[in-house]
Structure 1
Amino acid sequence: MPCLTIAIANQKGGVAKTTTVSELGELLSQQYHKKVLMIDIDPQASLTSIKGDMNDIIINNRKTMSNVMLRQSSIDEIVIPIKTNLYLAPATLVLSDVELNIINATLRELILKAALNSMLGSYDFVLIDCPPSRGLLTVNALSASDYVLIPIQAEYQALLGLQLLKNTVANVQSQINKELKVWGYVVTMTTRTNQSSDTLNEIKKDHYPILSTIPRSTKVSDAGVANMSTHEFDTNNPAGLAYLKLSEKLIGLEM
């Protein structure tokens, strides 16, 4: 089967983009034995901090996505094995400077796509953790992807600016990557409150589908610290079960 590349994107921070990448990466690689590459293209480097060894990367000056985006290294050169079937292309804060440095680069929106083209046959899934912005790094992720998954928190503020992200996706679809599809929303950190329920109802009015709702749970962060999926950490946890069902739907895209 061909490799599927999914960008996990939302210009708002704190909506569980990194958590969603980590959870799906863990589930696809450990439950379904799929070979998964997680790409950290967020200068905040939260995914790298959670899944990798940031101290080792910095102290030993290891190559990261900054080198890839500057066309100094291939992705193969920077990939770190995390566990069986699970790999990470790491980032550091240096990536924030890189975004400024590639503004005038030739085919600047397609740098990541070109880097991925040489190694897509090596993986079943590539999951890209995007920065909380609509800048050049996010555009590169969308340009290189088959699908975009949009995590959105179940609160009023999360709806603000969502149309801007949709505009960015539409621009990439029309000008750069005509094959890009919006897979849908994953509504995160839901609670039994009126605000959460009202927000969910507003999202349902959109023409993009809601693929999963993830209830708020401290077990999600506990599982991240333990370097495993929430479902592996606690098989009865509702959030873990919701992420498991989302991973099943992702497997379905591969069919």
Structure 2
Amino acid sequence: MKIICVANQKGGIGKSTLITVLAGALAADYGYRVLVVDADSQQTLAGVRLTNDQPSVDLEREAGTLAEPAFPYALESVGMGQVYDRLDEISDDYDVVFIDVPGRSDDTAMIDVLSGANVVLVPVGASDAERLATISFMQLLQEISRLSREQGLDFQFFGVHSHRTNLKEEKDMDEFTDALGLPRLQASLRQLGCYKRLSTRYSYLNPAYRRAVGADASVEAEVRALCDELIARAGLTAELVS
């Protein structure tokens, strides 16, 4: 089981979008057994499943052949202090676990959850506030990585653009993090309206769902590129259930 935290101490930077995109595709299209743990006090993902993902006659009509009778992955709400107790109970049931954590990094529970993950994905942005918060957070992860190596533990972290607009500031951010030796994924998600319609039921690799939310074929390409890079760099291939 690979444990992937999606975290940044800056709120509103695309954590929930990144998780729903990756979890949906890896479960529905790549064949992984996926669990999403919503440990954020805002319970964004749990709220999406309760509201956005209820049966929608309009969506079904718009999508035509859209049909995914069951949710492709499990979702549980768990308190920060109980995350790993819960995962110990169900470790044989899943290949990949995504953990959505609160937007802060200043308490013991947060450090413990981050340190216990195999991979931390850090959504990055280009504004001054996003840049400062992200750099500070990634430097914390760099220290966790150093300690993990000393203990022989499997730990990696990557920055990832979850709402790229190709502004000059984003390129500056990439160059800055590269100069600091902070790793990042080359694949990214653009800032598109289709990603604002979050769903924990449908994958963006589902053509009918893409039509329903107004996404074109380029969305399929970028979602698949992001999944493929994560699989390769996080070593998920060996975890796939045949």
Tell me which interval the TM-score lies in, with the shorter structure as reference length.
Answer: 0.7 to 0.9
- Which 5+ residue runs of structure 2 have no aligned equivalent? 55-68, 238-242
Answer whether contact 2:24 2:72 (CA < 8 A) is retained. Answer: no
**1:201 shift after superposition:** 3.0
Once residues 225 and 207 of structure 1 are traced to their aligned partners in structure 2, the CA distance between those partners, rounded to angstroms, is: 34
Q: Specify the alignment match of 1:147 in structure 2.
A: 119
One of 69, 77, 80 as aligned partner of 1:90? 77
Whole-angstrom distance in 2 between the partners of 1:226 and 1:35: 14
Instruction: Output aligned runs, 1:156-195, within 5 Å.
Output: 156-173=128-145, 174=147, 179-195=153-169
Aligned length: 210
TM-score by length of 2: 0.74
TM-score by length of structure 1 reads 0.71
CA contact (8 A) 1:186 1:213 kept: yes
| Greater share of strand | 1
Q: CA RMSD in A?
A: 3.0
2:94 aligned with 1:123, yes or no?
yes
2:138–2:182 CA contact under 8 A, matched in 1: no
Question: Unpaired runs of 5+ in structure 1?
Answer: 57-81, 100-107
Percent same amino acid at aligned positions?
20
Q: Shift in Å at residue 136 of structure 1?
A: 3.7
Aligned to 2:57: none
**Which residue identity does 2:228 align to in structure 1?**
E
- Structure scoring higher RCO (CA < 8 A, sep ≥ 6) equals 2
Distance 2:218 2:126 in 1: 16
Could you tell me whether the CA contact under 8 Å between 2:10 and 2:103 is conserved in 1? yes
Deviations 1:49-100 (A, max 9, x none): 113459x9xxxxxxxxxxxxxxxxxxxxxxxxx9354000126xxx5xxx7x
Alignment CA distance shift 1:221-1:198 (3 Å):
same
Amino acid at match of 2:98: L
Is 1:230 the counterpart of 2:204 in the alignment? yes
Give 1:60's aligned residue: none
**CA, structure 1 residues 168+194, in 2 after alignment: closer, same or farther (shift >3 Å)?**
closer
Q: Does 1:27 align with 2:25?
A: yes
Distance 2:50 2:180 in 1: 36
**Structure 2 contact 83–113 (Cα < 8 Å) conserved:** yes
Q: Which residue of 2 aligns with 1:14?
A: 12
Aligned-partner SS, 1:122: coil
Question: Aligned letter for 1:133?
Answer: R
Match of 2:182?
208
